[in-house]
Amino acid sequence: MSRSPVDRVLGQISEAEVVDLTCQLVRIPSVFRPGEPDADERAVARVVEAWLRREGFSVEVHEVAPGRPNVIGWIEGGTPGPTLCLEGHTDVVTEGDPAAWRHPPWSGLVEDGRVYGRGSADMKGGLAAAMVAAAAVRRAGVPYAGRLMVAALVDEEDAMSGAKHFVGTPLGRAVSAAIVCEPEQNELCLEQKGVFWARVTVHGRMGHGAMPYAAVNPITAAGQFLARLPELERRVQRGVRRSRFLGVPHVTPTVVRAPVGHVAQNNVIPATAELRLDVRLTPGVEPGSVLGALEDLARDTERRCPGARVAVEPVEAPRPATRVERGEAVVRALEWAVRRVRGGRPVFGGVPGSTDGTILHTALGIPIVTFGPGNRLIPHQVDEHVPVAELVEAARCYAAAAVRFLSRRG
């Protein structure tokens, strides 16, 4: 009896292999700590590279910064076709206080059907599932067109320099669609929030605290600006249709600083105050429109606080929210895969944070969908863990989606 290509591929995925690989990756700390030797992604990247080479992948390693290599592995179907990328990152956030953990953060311990440790969910579990899925396609020897790629990138948790580097390489530019393997409890996420960080600098005039009339107080002006921010936020929210998955956009002050650049003293009105805003965008809100509203508020604050000058600037290039349509081939392939593997309908969702996927989407103009094992709320917490059942399901879904996506004609 001949089995279908998808059955042959799924037959190559074992729970033990996905779990072992996840544990192995979790046990390699890969927190980036500037200035500390070997506190980077190099050790885990080396293991990923060796594993992919052993499985017969073509591999390229791109040194994004010293000790911070992107690893990209791929297999070719032999006939022309699209490139599907399974994307993950190798860095993890700090473990915080190890004593606060029930199991040591780098244990990679399996207990009660879960793998424990920093990065188990975010996202060495998803990366391991992607690696095993792609290897299963190769081992099964099924026919497909185009190329199946696994990209293990650095620095997602900070500046996303790995993704920014990747999209500038020939391999990155060849990607037709991507599945971002971040922990979203295996929900099929069609939307991701965008992000834009703004710095608001309020310039006043330094003076004696006893003689405020002889100074311009930037703190008072910053307070005026902050007091009007909720009204601005409501206007931004009213201007866009509420997203079913992501709700409404938010404009959140996260840093207040004054004085800036000199020592704080009780009797000195400082020259400058600084605010930082964390703006989270939903599909349909352009970063430029929020920036424009913030600039209007800056002019308004200057009118209310004579002598103060208020400057608004983005801290880095804004990343718009992303959205992919249900009819997009990569979504249809993944939806088909979930039905095939789970025997039921997928749950659709949205990513509340921002991932490497926003860079891939913005820079390459490709459809991205986010789908990966692990509770959405668990990343960056102590006692981070990923359910074994979700790990295996993710690997099976990636593999089935890849076969489906790469076997379509035209």
Q: Calculate the alpha carbon distances from 129 to 42, 365, 398, 399 in Å.
A: 20, 25, 8, 9
H-helix or E-strand spanning residue 224: helix 218-238
The stretch among 41-49, 145-153, 177-185, 326-334 that binds Zn ion (CB under 5 A) is 177-185
Q: For Zn ion, give the closer residue by CB, 162 or 204.
A: 162
Q: Could you tell me if 204 and 270 are in contact, meaning their C-beta atoms sit under 8 angstroms apart? A: yes
Question: Least Å distance between CB 356 and Zn ion?
Answer: 8
Closest residue to Zn ion, judged by C-beta, is 122
DSSP character string of 109-139: EEETTEEESTTIIIIIHHHHHHHHHHHHHHH
Which of 55/191 has CB closer to Zn ion? Answer: 191
Given the complex with Zn ion, which of 192 and 301 has the nearer CB atom?
Answer: 192
Q: CB 102: neighbour CB atoms within 10 A?
A: 11
Residues 6+ apart with CB under 8 A from 138: 55, 56, 57, 75
Give the sheet arrangement for strand 109-111, strand by strand. 109-111, 114-116, 385-387
Query: CB 119 → Zn ion: shortest distance, Å?
Result: 9
Could you tell me the two tokens for 400?
A: 């089935």
Between 122 and 155, CB nearer to Zn ion:
122
Q: Which one of 37-45, 134-142, 181-189, 242-250 is the stretch in contact with Zn ion (CB under 5 A)? A: 181-189
In the complex, minimum distance from the CB of residue 77 to Zn ion, in angstroms, rounded to a whole number: 29
The distance of closest approach from Cβ of residue 369 to Zn ion in the complex, given in angstroms and rounded to an integer, is 15
| Burial (CB count <10 Å: 0-12, 13-18, 19+), residue 343 | exposed
Residue 350 CB, nearest distance to Zn ion (Å)? 15
Instruction: Write down the number of H helices and E strands in the chain.
Output: 11, 18
Is residue 262 classed exposed, middle or buried when 0-12, 13-18 and 19+ CB atoms within 10 A define those classes? exposed
Shortest spacing between CB 140 and Zn ion, in angstroms: 29
By beta-carbon proximity to Zn ion, the closer residue of 205 and 380 is 380
User: Residue 188 is which amino acid?
Assistant: L
| Helix residue ranges, H only, 256-348 | 287-304, 329-342
If binding means CB under 5 A, how many residues of this protein chain bind Zn ion? 3
The span from the CA of 406 to the CA of 329, in Å, is: 10
Between 183 and 346, whose beta carbon lies closer to Zn ion?
183
195 lies in the binding site for Zn ion (CB under 5 A): no
Nearer to Zn ion among residue 155 and residue 182 (C-beta): 182
- Where helices occur in 154-196 by DSSP H, the ranges are 161-166, 170-173
Which residue's CB is nearer to Zn ion, number 119 or number 249? Answer: 119
273/391 with CB nearer Zn ion = 391
Cis peptide before 259 (omega within 30 of 0): yes
Of 102-131, binders to Zn ion (CB under 5 A) are 122-123
Shortest approach of Zn ion to residue 78 CB, angstroms? 33
- Least distance (Å) from Zn ion to the CB of residue 89? 6
Q: How far is the CB of 361 from Zn ion (least distance, A)?
A: 16
- Give me the residues that bind Zn ion (CB under 5 A), please: 122-123, 182
